[in-house]
Amino acid sequence: MGFSIKSIVDFRNLQGFKGYFIITICFVLGLALSILLFDNYLMRYIIGSRDIVKIPDLIGMSANDAELKVQLLGLEYVKSSEQFNLKFNPGTVVNQIPRAGIEVKTGRKIFCTLSKGRELIKMPFLIGRTIRTSVTMLQQSGLCVGELIYSFSDSIGKDTVIGQIKQGGSMVPYGDTISIIVSKGALKQLQTPNLIGYPFPEALKILTENGFKLGSTDYIKDGTYLKNTVIKQDPASGESVPDNSIINLTITK
């Protein structure tokens, strides 16, 4: 025989190595195929074959629009609570859980908080109070001070509130702007001087010295008075009129 015992042993060892190698290759290929099948089929079965969607941004949307948008994506809309909000109108989404942009499986619940609008508070009574006190009361109530409108008042002293745009005791939105009317004090009243019979230059001097202004001047012929004499005035002598009022004169020519 041409084969030695050693050759026969080496040949058998070679055959055994090849068999082991083939078995190893088959095992690796089988494992890879199993993983592929698991990812593509079994995993979908385990998670229910549901799609993955990105949660939309619902902040600022009306409840109806938000619910429709969520449902179109296969998600479930849930109204979780309501809260007062200065920025958003009633019925608007102000918060959501989970937040926008997160990827979730279809069927996930989206919890939304809706705005109740601005909280209503009772308007304080300001009439008869000083400006300083009124401003403090408005700020402590959560209201903003608007325009200060000044007006003369014969009955209420200077720098005292005589009117308010929103009636005291009424319900107004939190953070609302409130304008108030403030007294400038009594309007100064003057009695008109008697100018009848005075020469026009002297009558004009009396007007200006007593806080009045010259209005219109009408010239007429009159045989009783000398030329350039005041024979009529409007308002008449002794009437109470505001400071800096106009007096119209009729003068002879």
Domain check: are 34 and 80 in the same one?
no
- Summarize pLDDT for 90-104 with one digit per residue, the tens: 999 999 999 999 899
Average pLDDT rounded to a whole number, residues 34-38: 59
> If pLDDT is split at 50, 70 and 90, which confidence band does 185 have?
confident
Last residue within a domain, chosen from 183, 201, 234: 183
Average pLDDT rounded to a whole number, residues 203-224: 91
pLDDT at 232: 94
Domain check: are 57 and 111 in the same one?
yes
Q: Has residue 119 got a pLDDT over 70?
A: yes
Q: Has residue 38 got a pLDDT over 80?
A: no
Q: Tell me the DSSP string of the chain.
A: ----HHHHHHHHHHHHHHHHHHHHHHHHHHHHHHHHHIIIIIHHHHTTTPPEEEPP--TTSBHHHHHHHHHHTT-EEEEEEEE--SSS-TTBEEEEESPTT-EEETT-EEEEEEE--SPEEEPPP-TTSBHHHHHHHHHHTT-EEEEEEEE--SSS-TTBEEEESSPTT-EEETT-EEEEEEE--PPPEEEPP--TTSBHHHHHHHHHHTT-EEEEEEEE--SSSPTTBEEEEESPTT-EEETT-EEEEEEE-
Domain check: are 5 and 40 in the same one?
yes
Q: Has residue 47 got a pLDDT over 60?
A: no
Last residue within a domain, chosen from 88, 115, 142: 115
Domain check: are 168 and 210 in the same one?
no
Which is it for strands 213-220 and 246-252: parallel, antiparallel or unpaired? parallel
Look up residue 45 and give its two tokens. 């079965």
Average pLDDT rounded to a whole number, residues 165-172: 91
Question: Can you give the residue range of the structural domain that contains 156?
Answer: 120-183
Domain check: are 162 and 143 in the same one?
yes
The share of the chain scoring above pLDDT 90, in percent, equals: 55
> If pLDDT is split at 50, 70 and 90, which confidence band does 242 have?
confident
Cα 166 to the center of its chain, rounded Å: 18
End-to-end CA distance of the chain: 171
Average pLDDT rounded to a whole number, residues 9-32: 61
Average pLDDT rounded to a whole number, residues 124-140: 93
Last residue within a domain, chosen from 11, 31, 49: 49
Count of CB atoms within 10 A of residue 231's CB?
17
Determine whether 96 is exposed, middle or buried from the number of CB atoms within 10 Å of its CB (0-12, 13-18, 19+).
buried
pLDDT at 19: 60
Domain check: are 45 and 56 in the same one?
no
Give the torsion sign (CA, 75, 76, 77, 79).
negative
Determine whether 28 is exposed, middle or buried from the number of CB atoms within 10 Å of its CB (0-12, 13-18, 19+).
exposed
Assign residue 185 a region (left: φ > 0; alpha: ψ between -120 and 50; beta: otherwise). left
pLDDT at 178: 94
- Per the structure, the count of domains in the chain is 4
Domain check: are 127 and 179 in the same one?
yes
Domain check: are 104 and 126 in the same one?
no
Domain check: are 101 and 129 in the same one?
no
pLDDT at 25: 74
pLDDT at 9: 44
Average pLDDT rounded to a whole number, residues 6-26: 57
* Most confident residue range from 113-117, 153-157, 182-186, 237-241: 113-117
pLDDT at 251: 95
> If pLDDT is split at 50, 70 and 90, which confidence band does 42 have?
low
| CATH code for the domain in which residue 194 is found | 3.30.10.20
Q: Has residue 219 got a pLDDT over 90?
A: yes
Q: Has residue 14 got a pLDDT over 80?
A: no
Mean pLDDT of the chain: 84
Report how far residue 224's alpha carbon sits from residue 72's, in angstroms, rounded to the nearest whole number.
100
Q: Has residue 39 got a pLDDT over 90?
A: no
Report how far residue 97's alpha carbon sits from residue 107's, in angstroms, rounded to the nearest whole number.
14
